[in-house]
Amino acid sequence: MNIIQIYKRFPTQQSCIDHLERVRWDNTPTCPYCKSTRQTPRKNTNRYHCNSCNTSYSVMVGTIFHNTKLDFQKWFLAITLVLNAKKGLSARQLGRDIEVTKDTAWYMLMRLRKAMVEYGELLQGIVEADETYIGGKNKNRHKHKKTKGGQGRNTKDKDAVFGLVERGGKVMAQKVNKVDGRTLKTIINRNVEEGATVSTDEWRSYNGLDGKFEHLIVKHGAGIYVDGLAHTNTMEGFWSLLKRGVIGQFHNVSSKYLNKYINEFCYRYNNRNNNQIFELTLQKALNI
Ligand SMILES: [Zn+2]
């Protein structure tokens, strides 16, 4: 959905709240504290009095919208803008788009990122594994990851990021402290179905994968990028999307928040063909 459709479908604050109540409660208000459905609506508010535990609550309690003073239309538009922003959306841009301050937009984005987390199923079929670096000095990279002409251009600390992608399926990626065999293989073992095919470059951390998986190796060091089914081009496509976002929109993300940005990019990528992504994101926002 684009912002015009959202704007028309949810023209008022009340229409947004009604929708959230439908999504969260299926129109049966339920106390978030004691789970009772015995309640009395409070007049002229969107709050309910729980007749079981005597508290009062609204649909926002315990969700990413808890205590928000912003109009829900702005939240709904923000969700739509973020979901449609392939290369990510900066707080500055979101602030301009929905007329809130940059700080408010930043806070909204951080909250929305909590909803944009996925708990993955095991990856199957042919899975590409690859590492990359965000920021940092080229000279500190492992030789096979150096980029031409990049020497000394980046001075900030680098972060290593490791990713797995099922060809035609989902991606997962995370910041890692090391790119040694133990770290990378632990992640692969946890996230890839046994017996699947894992395609990597010749980096030595991937040695020994052939015990549990079929291991395809493409020799980047020899200038080979595709060798039959052996390649990491899908993963590299994701890296370039992520890097354009991080460098272009976020002007070097602080290492502390990097995983949140990575999750956001994975979430968008994994739902690229999901036309219910707005509803899915609302559900996730409400079930936190
Ligand atoms: Zn209650």
pLDDT given for residue 153 in this prediction: 29
Which pTM was predicted?
Answer: 0.88
Q: Are residues 131 and 68 in the same domain?
A: no
What pLDDT score was predicted for residue 156?
45
> What tens digit of pLDDT does each residue of 11-45 get?
999 999 999 999 999 989 999 999 999 999 999 89
Q: Are residues 98 and 8 in the same domain?
A: yes
Q: How far, in Å, is the centroid of ligand 1 from the Cα of 80?
A: 33
Q: pLDDT tier at 119 (50, 70, 90 boundaries)?
A: confident
Residue 50 CA to ligand 1 center (angstroms) comes to 5
The CA 68 to ligand 1 mean position distance, Å, reads 21
CATH number of the structural domain spanning residue 243: 3.30.420
User: Rounded distance, CA 281 to CA 61, Å?
Assistant: 17
CB 56 within 8 A of CB 47: yes
Gap from CA of 33 to ligand 1 centroid (Å): 5
Distance 60 CA to ligand 1 centre (A): 15
Q: What separation in Å is there between the alpha carbon of 14 and the centre of ligand 1?
A: 23
Give 55-80 pLDDT, tens digit per residue.
999 999 999 999 899 999 999 999 99
CA of 37 to the centre of ligand 1 (A): 8
Residues 26 and 134 reside in one and the same domain: no
Cα–Cα–Cα angle for 249, 250, 253, nearest 5°? Answer: 150
Same domain for 166 and 247, yes or no, is yes
- Rounded distance from Cα 79 to ligand 1 centre (Å): 30
First to last CA, the chain: 23
Query: What distance in angstroms lies between residue 40's CA and the mean position of ligand 1's atoms?
Result: 11
| 257 has pLDDT over 70 | yes
If one counts the domains in the chain, the total is: 2
Q: Which domain holds residue 23?
A: 3-115+276-286
- Residue 271 included in any domain: no
Band the pLDDT of 148: cuts 50, 70, 90.
very low
- Cα of 61 to ligand 1 centre, how many Å? 12
Whether residues 244 and 137 share a domain: the answer is yes
Tell me the CA–centroid distance for residue 202 and ligand 1, in Å: 58
178 C-alpha vs ligand 1 centroid, how far in Å?
A: 47
Ligand 1 centroid from CA 48, angstroms = 10
Q: Is 55 part of any domain?
A: yes
| Rounded distance from Cα 117 to ligand 1 centre (Å) | 29
Q: Is residue 101 located within the same domain as residue 142?
A: no
pLDDT of residue 246: 83
237 and 150 within one domain: yes
> For residue range 80-113, what is the model confidence (pLDDT) as tens digits?
999 999 888 999 999 999 999 999 999 999 999 9
